[in-house]
Amino acid sequence: MVIALVCQAGYRSIPSLCYRLHSTYVRRMRYLFQLKEDDEACRQAYHAGTFFLFYNNLPFLQQEGKMFLAPKINGAEIKKILEQFRQSEEKIEDSLLIGCSYECTPYFALDLGSLERAAIESELNGSFVDLWKAFFQLREEDASLISTAQALLHWHDNHQYCGKTGQPTRKNLAGSKRVCQGSGLICYPQMSPVVITLVSDGSQCLLVRQASFPQGMYSALAGFCDVGESLEETVRREVAEEVGLEVESLWYSASQHWAFPNSSLMIACHALVNPQKNKISIDRQEIEAAKWFSHEEVVMALGRKPQSSIEKDDGSSFWVPPKQAIAHQLIQEWVKKHAAVPA
Ligand SMILES: [Zn+2]
């Protein structure tokens, strides 16, 4: 009873009082859910919010040595910035909710694409950077927030009109959905499921190259899930399509959101093929090269830095994606599991 009274009385003005009664994680999730469902609560949250700035989907970053930092701008500062660039206060309502801190400080992304880029950059002492170029130099926490924000901004940008009636759509304040002004149809931000599979024959692992990969890089097989498929079916089909092998068993490892080039949910799996039937036949439309590598070769590849200037790209001095990519984790797991197998 007491709890209920505290919550009702203090709901809007001091949400932390209410949410302190739950575990940190539950509190944060409930708070975010409230902001997604209730426009007025979201509007109130701007004051205590932290903002990440974007310019036509490019994140605002500051360089610190070899690393990039995503500056956190508070509600008062964002107001000042908007005033300074002669924007109305309502511009803040273009913001998208992208998460919150452990203390329930809401995080928002705001795209200032309608303003003058160079003026903002010089005023705030940083620059709007291509996320793909900066991604591997961002701290893990920033990388995840910024790529969520970019994916969400991109989705809203591409869903300004209803796919059924062609009428304009409008986002709710948090940006967790868009509603068609004509038909009332609601659409929610989406990710495309992609399976990423590390194939093993028990002693070697199969790595492939797509033509679009940086020179010298080999990775696990990847492919989009087709409509109607289970995860298992996608793994089996992709391995059959791309390298002509039949999967005997497979197991799930982990998943990751990947913002490039569009929002994907990368679902990482290990797959085992029969070592007697491990002869590869490549689908050249999908991949450029596929090779079996020994434990020793893979360990060496994990230790190599990305090399853009490999003279002979024959797979002898290949490297694998860096630790931020889930393919790296899959390869690490395989190496650990096969540590006892002689090369
Ligand atoms: Zn519509």
pLDDT higher at 184 or 306 = 184
Residues 114 and 235 grouped into a single domain: no
The answer to the question of residue 216 being in a domain is: yes
The answer to the question of residue 168 being in a domain is: yes
Residues 170 and 282 grouped into a single domain: no
Distance 30 CA to ligand 1 centre (A): 30
When pLDDT is averaged across residues 218-234 and rounded to a whole number, the result is 97
Distance 173 CA to ligand 1 centre (A): 19
CATH number at residue 280: 3.90.79.10
Distance 191 CA to ligand 1 centre (A): 21
Sheet with strand 169-171: strands edge to edge: 169-171, 178-180, 186-187
Residues 167 and 272 grouped into a single domain: no
The answer to the question of residue 96 being in a domain is: yes
Distance 68 CA to ligand 1 centre (A): 41
Q: Between 326-337 and 295-303, two packed helices, what is the crossing angle to 10 degrees?
A: 140
Residues 200 and 332 grouped into a single domain: yes
Distance 108 CA to ligand 1 centre (A): 27
Residues 91 and 169 grouped into a single domain: no
Residues 240 and 124 grouped into a single domain: no
Tell me which of 174, 190, 206 is where a domain ends: 190
| Total number of domains constituting the chain | 3
Distance 178 CA to ligand 1 centre (A): 10
| pTM of the entire predicted model | 0.85
Distance 257 CA to ligand 1 centre (A): 29
Residues 207 and 250 grouped into a single domain: yes
When pLDDT is averaged across residues 252-274 and rounded to a whole number, the result is 94
Residue 3 has a pLDDT of: 38
For 59-91, the pLDDT digits (tens) are: 999 999 889 999 999 999 999 999 999 999 899
Distance 169 CA to ligand 1 centre (A): 8
Distance 167 CA to ligand 1 centre (A): 6
Give me the domain span that covers residue 131: 46-157
Q: What's the CA gap between 239 and 42, in Å, rounded?
A: 45
Residues 96 and 222 grouped into a single domain: no
Residues 263 and 293 grouped into a single domain: yes
The answer to the question of residue 22 being in a domain is: no
Q: Residue 16: pLDDT above 70?
A: no
